[in-house]
Amino acid sequence: LNPFQWSVRVYYEDTDAGGVVYHTGYIRFMERARTEWLRARGYSQAQLIQNEGLLFSVVNLEINYLKPARLDDLLSVNSTAQVSGGASVYFEQEIYRDADGQPLARARIRVACLDAATLKPKRIPVTLREALI
């Protein structure tokens, strides 16, 4: 199974005074990749809120920082997902730099399906679940 790949460019807004991407930048890039992974399966987060009354929310995240990304770097985010029987999706995501293929950060993220109004866990609807697998 091939991971889903998404490209991200590093801009000034992503860097800090250490000259590298600020540590939450990688986590934002991973969220963009998960959003595009979802879109590639036919769903947008805005539609999920409006049409299904649900949203996905990170409940647990573990990330290892391996090497820093720098201004103007072109990065790739590789994402693989495992959809649980219930209300969770488990992602493994890796960011690497295109120019030298160096892995920069790796994360394991658990995302929960929530009712958009109450923010309580909600079973992933069957149609959505089948689209995601």
115 is catalytic: no
Nearer to a copy of itself, 20 or 75 (CB): 20
Nearer to a copy of itself, 19 or 101 (CB): 19
Q: Say how far residue 52 (Cα) sits from the centre of its chain.
A: 20
- The residues pairing with 78 across neighbouring beta strands, listed in sequence order, are 5, 94
**Residue ranges binding a copy of itself (CB under 8 A):** 9, 11-13, 15-20, 22-24, 27-28, 31-32, 35, 39, 44-47, 49, 55, 57-65, 68, 70-72, 116, 119
Burial (CB count within 10 angstroms: exposed 0-12, middle 13-18, buried 19+), residue 21: buried
Question: Annotated catalytic residue: which of 14, 16, 73, 100?
Answer: 16
The token duo for 53 is 């009354």
Annotated catalytic sites, by residue?
Answer: 16
